[in-house]
Amino acid sequence: MAGTITNTAIVDFGTGNADWGTIVGATIHDAITSGNQVAQSALATSKVISADPVTFQIGALAFVLSSEISDYAAIALLNAMFGKTSSWGSLSGVPTTYYIALWTTTPDSAGSGGTECTGTGYGRVAITASSWGAAS
């Protein structure tokens, strides 16, 4: 699907604990706590967390800009947001670091209504804009 961006670096949350729950989605934020939700994605398969490493391999997180805009606009916007070459140039004030959050109930596109993981050792993971491939 056009307007998709995926991780080109491993995203490692460390070792999870059973109190994290079952992960059903991931979001990208512009801050380590609170902040603005930039993108969201449901996981292809939910992930039951116990005392296991919680790691997303390269390409495992895919965020799609789905709207009634053209493929051209979706690709240009995602590339500009994540510091890639864009036919629109660059956007001023775009963060160079984003934060991945995990969810037991995925929020809506406005960033509300979801339940972010909590529990022992959980925290959002910082990932630089350069850790994302160019949108396609």
pLDDT one-digit tens code per residue, 96-125: 888 999 999 988 877 788 899 998 999 999
Residues 6+ positions from 134 with CB-CB distance below 8 Å: 5, 79, 84, 85
> What is the pTM (predicted TM-score) of this model?
0.82
Residues 6+ positions from 113 with CB-CB distance below 8 Å: 105, 107
Q: Residue 47 domain-assigned?
A: yes
**Count of structural domains, the chain:** 1
Q: Residue 110 domain-assigned?
A: yes
Is pLDDT at 91 greater than 70 in this prediction? no
Domain coverage including residue 20: 4-131
3-class state of residue 73 by DSSP: helix
Q: Residue 136 domain-assigned?
A: no
Q: Give the percent of the chain with pLDDT over 90.
A: 34
The first and second tokens of residue 52, run together, are 């296991």
3-class state of residue 134 by DSSP: coil
